[in-house]
């Protein structure tokens, strides 16, 4: 990270008195935690801070201090706009509409478009929270217990508990520093990555029962009826796909999640190098080599037919 850019960011943060901090739509742990870490540190510094997530803060992170202070829309006026963990300005949804251009863009996505006046972007960082943890002192910000818990949570969620292929010794060292400062690793790990609602576990049960296998291809489905039967409130897969992708010998795993509006959300995961983003692209979706998704119109049966055919072809 360029020291001059850090200095510029620090001086803008120091001079500001009304700050808007926001992140991307459908926020993950790193998005929520980096909004909280930066927002709470600026608040502790005596600034008026609005922490904004267009889609709200997911209940999975309500144990983090400041969670209830996150709002869905900001109110004018603000004199500094900061985005965290957002690769593009569009990813922030409505949270920035009507506000001045982005002053500081803090992110770790390789696809970041450097849309801010000042861009603190480091694709080598495993999480935006890792980048913040590293540069907090240079930005003139103080670690508090709430900030430390948020930062470790963002690192844990983006690395799925230190196990993604982009993990680095540096990320472990930054985490160790946070633990030394008082972060409770086992508790934060459990809350962020392991704890599930009763409904989510029963929903998984329905998905697990549906699993089928054909050689290296494994697939399963979650239906509207499954959600109704167990009372699961979301329209997602409760992260089931990341678990079934661990099945031994499954080169590609596909999970179908039926939606209310005659649509089907499809997620692919691969082990061993099959590029599932290319399969997803055939259906208007996208993603990465090992994880991709798309939304198809039509019935679940139709999605099964076309997606499994395309996935079998890709496996050949």
| Site residues, Mn ion (CB under 5 A) | 30, 85, 127-128, 158
| 48-52 and 18-22 strand pairing | parallel
When the beta carbons of 86 and 307 are compared against Mn ion, the nearer one is 86
Say how many C-beta atoms besides its own lie within 10 A of residue 299's C-beta. 13
Judged by beta carbon, residue 153 or residue 311, the one nearer Mn ion is: 153
Q: Please, what is the minimum distance in Å from the beta carbon of residue 157 to Mn ion? A: 8
Nearer to Mn ion among residue 132 and residue 252 (C-beta): 132
Least distance between Mn ion and beta carbon 251 (Å): 27
Least distance between Mn ion and beta carbon 274 (Å)? 24
Which position's Cβ is nearest Mn ion? 30
Tell me how far the alpha carbon of residue 215 is from its chain's centroid. Answer: 31
Question: Residue 82 or 127: which CB sits closer to Mn ion?
Answer: 127
CB of 128 to Mn ion, least distance (A): 5
β-strand pairing of 212-214 with 80-84: unpaired
Q: Which is nearer to Mn ion, 105 or 128 (CB)?
A: 128
Query: Which sign, positive or negative, has the C-alpha torsion 12, 120, 3, 177?
Result: positive
Alpha helix (H) ranges present in the chain? 3-15, 29-44, 128-135, 145-158, 169-180, 185-189, 198-209, 224-230, 240-244, 276-281, 300-315
Peptide bond into 76 cis (omega under 30): no
CB of 173 vs Mn ion, minimal distance in Å: 19
């Amino acid at each position: 990270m360029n020291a001059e850019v850090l200095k510029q960011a620090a001086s803008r943060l120091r001079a500001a008195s009304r700050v808007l901090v926001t992140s991307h739509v459908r926020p993950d742990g790193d998005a929520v935690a980096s909004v909280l870490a930066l927002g709470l540190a600026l608040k502790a510094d005596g600034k008026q801070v609005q922490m904004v997530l267009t889609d709200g803060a997911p209940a999975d992170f309500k144990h983090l201090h400041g969670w209830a202070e996150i709002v869905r829309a900001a109110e004018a006026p603000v004199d500094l706009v900061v985005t965290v963990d957002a690769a593009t300005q569009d990813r922030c949804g409505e949270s920035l509409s009507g506000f001045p251009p982005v002053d500081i863009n803090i992110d770790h996505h390789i696809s970041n478009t450097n849309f801010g006046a000042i861009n603190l972007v480091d694709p080598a960082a495993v999480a935006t929270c890792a980048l913040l943890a590293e540069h907090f002192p240079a930005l003139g910000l103080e670690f508090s217990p709430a900030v430390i818990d948020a930062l470790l949570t963002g690192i844990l969620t983006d690395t799925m508990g230190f196990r993604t292929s982009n993990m680095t010794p540096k990320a472990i060292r930054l985490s160790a520093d946070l633990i030394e400062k008082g972060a409770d690793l086992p508790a934060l790990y459990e809350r962020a990555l392991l704890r599930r609602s009763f409904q989510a576990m029963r929903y998984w049960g329905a998905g697990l029962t549906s699993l089928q296998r054909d050689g290296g291809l494994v697939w399963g489905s979650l239906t509207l009826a499954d959600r109704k039967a167990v009372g699961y409130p979301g329209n997602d897969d409760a992260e089931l796909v990341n678990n079934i992708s661990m099945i031994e010998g499954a080169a590609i795993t596909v999970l179908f999640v039926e939606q209310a509006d005659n649509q089907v959300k499809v997620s692919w995961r691969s082990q061993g190098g099959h590029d599932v983003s290319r399969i997803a692209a055939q259906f208007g979706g996208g993603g990465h080599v090992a994880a991709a998704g798309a939304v198809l119109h039509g019935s679940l049966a139709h999605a099964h037919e076309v997606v499994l055919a395309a996935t079998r072809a890709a496996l050949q």
